[in-house]
Amino acid sequence: MSQYKPQTLNDTQKLDEMTIPKIPMRETLTKWVSGIVIVLLLLWSWSPVEMRLWISLFTDASNMAEYASGFLSPNFRDFDIFVEQMVVTVQIAIWGTFLAIILGVPFAILSSSNIFPAWIVQPVRRVMDACRAINEIVFALLFVVAVGLGPFAGVMAIFVHNVGVIAKLFSEAVEAIDPRPVEGIRATGAKKLQEVIFGVIPQVMALWISLALYRFETNVRSATVLGMVGAGGIGQLLWENIRSFAYAETAAIMIIVVVSITLIDMLSQRLRKWAL
Amino acid sequence: MSEAIKVQQLSKTFGSDAKALDDVSISISTGEMVALIGASGSGKSTLLRHIAGFVEADRDSVSKITIFDRIMQSQGKITSEARAIRVGVGVIFQQFNLVNRLKVLTNVLIGNLGNMSAFKGSLGLFSDEQKQAAMLALTRVGIAAQAMQRGSTLSGGQQQRAAIARTLVQGAKILVADEPIASLDPSAARKVMDIMTELNQKDNMTILVSLHQVEYALNYCRRTIALRAGKVVYDGPSEALTPEFLNELYGAESEELFLPSLQAKQKNIDNVWAGMPPDQATEPTMNSNMQ
């Protein structure tokens, strides 16, 4: 490779006369400050989470080996029950997601700042924030108390948490629409609701379907642990087997979960591509 | 003749001091076809959007806009009647404003929403009669064959014609057109202007159309209203708008109101040829710039 030789346009311009533009002080400062902040955050969290124990990953390697050997010989004796519970897990996600969409759509519209005024949008958004802030497991614990042990508590847990998530995701799609078609519909003397039905929803439908499928994937994943607190699905079997040190069965369940989730992810990915 | 559109002392300020409209008063009789001209930023769009009831005028003004003697907005407040008045005022836009994902037929059927029960309209339950009327409107504007296509698959000119069909289905007595041909090629633009002229002459539709170029105003509209910096600077017969007069009204701005003349086009072509091939043509100019 030969060094680049500038073609001077005339004799007055020389290579060593060229000035290199300076990187603005702000940019350099921002880079350093953000680096320092990240390091400080990591140091601050080190001892509270007992990060010093990292060494035991190696000193207690024999425990790990025991786990691993159990996992290497999965026990599929109760295959039928495992699969049955995995199907229930998916069914929990189906109903949870469906109910979340039904209620999430109106809340999404109500929390879109390009459709409704701030005095409606802000309160609705705060309620949705609250739904989202609380994890499914916490809702599951509450619903187990309210409606008893079983998958219905799981459905309700997925539902309530996801109303918040769907409302946020869907309203972000609504806020990104092109306002001009909506104005075109307003010009015909249509009502506000009709502006939304004919002007907004057709624009966001494809994205909504894609987001809903993505949430369904996520919800199947979440539903696999809800059983640990008695809210139905395969999580209960998982929990029982882990607690009784039945690693072979645990391994079998985990394999079933991984395979099911992979299949659902692949299927939903296909569908999402088709929707968009 | 009764007044279709009456605008009285309309002022609109955006932000702190940018006056988009400054004490505009115009009146358009039923059956007129009027051009609204002006350079970019002269307030054409803003005026039309006030007439359509999309924007409210300044609160402290004494403005008033009436459509067939019904008040669309007064003193900066859109009345509760506005939605009902809009049914009679069709609006078409520079970017057509169709819903791209919906079929052309559905886009046209949307014109019925203001005239039918809210329940049926919201569910999209259009009657066969309404569908036939929509097909008739599409036939009139010449795009019946595209009825089942998505709006986005149509060319610009076809989309604008679909938008006009929507206002026909709407039963609008007034058509407000905000730069309807600014995004169209010349032949599509002519087609759209021809359709509007036909609606004006055969259906006695009152038309207020904003145009960027004076030539179209001269060819299609008997009367022209000219805006400059939010003020009406001329309101009268279009034929009075000679280049000299426009120059008087707009000064240097008047240049952008004319289609590029043949002479200017020829000059551009000459430049392109002179610049070929680029290596030889551009280097000397660069040199001279550097020194």
- Over residues A118-143, the pLDDT tens digits come to 999 999 999 999 999 999 999 999 99
Q: What pLDDT shows up at residue B98? A: 94
Distance CA A152, CA A169 (A): 25
- Would the CB atoms of A180 and B95 count as touching at under 8 Å? yes
Q: From the CA of B102, how many Å to the nearest CA of chain A?
A: 7
- Residue A65's pLDDT is what? 82
The Cα–Cα gap between B113 and A35 comes to 57
pLDDT at B263 > cutoff 50: no
Q: Which domain holds residue A180?
A: 76-275
Q: Give me chain A's average pLDDT, please.
A: 90
| DSSP H stretches of helix in B98-155 | 104-109, 118-123, 128-141
pLDDT at B274 over 70: no
Q: Judge whether residue A177 has pLDDT over 90.
A: yes
> What is the reported pLDDT for B40?
83
What CATH code is carried by the domain that includes residue A90?
1.10.3720.10
Q: Is A13 part of a structural domain of the chain?
A: no
Q: Is the CB of B113 less than 8 angstroms away from the CB of A206? A: no
* pLDDT tens-digit series, residues B211-231: 988 889 989 999 999 998 899
From the number of C-beta atoms within 10 Å of its C-beta (0-12, 13-18, 19+), residue A20 rates as exposed
* Count of other CB atoms within 10 angstroms of residue B163: 27
Number of folded domains that form chain A: 1
pLDDT for the residue numbered A62 = 82
The mean pLDDT value for B175-192 works out to: 92
d(CA A136, CA A133): 9
* Per-residue pLDDT at A258: 92
Is the pLDDT at B290 greater than 50? The verdict is no
Distance CA(A93)–CA(B232), nearest Å, equals 63
Half-sphere exposure of B189 (CA within 13 A, CB side): 19
B1-88+204-259 to CATH, choices 1.10.3720.10, 1.20.150.20, 3.40.50.300, 3.30.230.10: 3.40.50.300
Nearest to A9 among B54, B88, B290 (CB): B290
N-term to C-term CA, chain A = 47
User: Edge to edge, what strands does the sheet with B174-178 contain?
Assistant: B89-92, B174-178, B206-211, B33-37, B223-228, B231-237
Residues 6 or more apart from A105 whose CB is under 8 A from it?
Answer: A166, A170, A208
Residue A98 counted as domain residue = yes
**Residue B200: per-residue pLDDT:** 94
The reply to whether A23 falls in a domain is no
pLDDT of B243? 82
Of the pLDDT bands very low, low, confident and very high (cuts 50, 70, 90), residue B258 is confident
Report residue A191 as tokens. Answer: 């009502």
Mutate to test the interface with B, among A10, A13, A182, A188 (most CBs of B within 10 A): A188
Instruction: Kindly indicate the confidence band of residue B8, based on its pLDDT and cuts at 50, 70 and 90.
Output: very high
Which tens digit of pLDDT belongs to each residue from B47-63? 999 999 999 998 887 89
Does the structure show a pLDDT above 60 at A92? yes
Neighbours of A49 (CB within 10 A): 8
SS (H, E, C) A8-62: CCCCCCCHHHCCCCCCCHHHHHHHHHHHHHHHHHHHHHHCCCCHHHHHHHHHCHH
pLDDT at B262 over 60: no
Residue B288 pLDDT more than 70?
no
**Residue B272 pLDDT greater than 70, yes or no:** no
Contacts of A180 in chain B (CB under 8 A): 93, 95, 97
| Contact partners, residue B30, CB within 8 Å, separation at least 6 | B1, B2, B3, B4, B173, B204, B206
Share of chain B above pLDDT 90, in %: 64
pLDDT digits (tens, 9 = 90+) for A210-242: 999 999 999 999 999 999 999 989 999 999 998
Residues 6+ apart with CB under 8 A from A258: none
CB neighbourhood size of B32 (10 A): 20
Q: Are A108 and A166 in contact (CB under 8 A)?
A: yes
B259 has pLDDT over 80: no
**Nearest-CA distance A182 → chain B (Å):** 8
Comparing alpha-carbon positions, the chain A residue that sits nearest to B103 is A202
CA distance A142 to chain B (A): 38
Rounded average pLDDT over A83-99: 95
Inter-chain contact A190–B121, Cβ cutoff 8 Å?
Answer: yes
Taking one residue from A and the other from B, the number of pairs with CB-CB distance under 8 angstroms is 91
Percent of chain A residues past pLDDT 90, beyond the cut: 72
Both structure tokens of A255 = 């394999």
Closest listed residue to residue B72, CA positions, set B91, B60, B59, B88: B88
Mean pLDDT of chain B: 86
Q: What would the mean pLDDT of A95-111 be, rounded to a whole number?
A: 97
What is residue A129's predicted lDDT score, i.e. its pLDDT?
95
Residue A49 domain flag: no
A202 to chain B: nearest residue by CA?
B101
Task: Tell me how close the Cα of A188 comes to any Cα of chain B, in angstroms.
Answer: 5
Per the DSSP assignment, residues forming a β-bridge with B92 are: B177
Q: Taking phi first (over 0 means left), then psi (-120 to 50 degrees means alpha), and beta for anything else, what does residue A229 get? A: alpha
Dihedral sign of CA atoms A5, A9, A11, A12 in order: negative
Q: Where are the domains of chain B?
A: 1-88+204-259, 263-291
Position A95, amino acid: W
Average of per-residue pLDDT across B89-95: 93
* Residue A49, pLDDT above cutoff 90: yes
Q: Name which of A5-9, B3-7, B126-130, B208-212 the model is least confident about.
A: A5-9
The arithmetic mean of pLDDT across residues A253-263, rounded, is 92
pLDDT over 50 at B46, yes or no: yes
If you compute the radius of gyration of chain B from its CA atoms, what whole number of angstroms results? 22
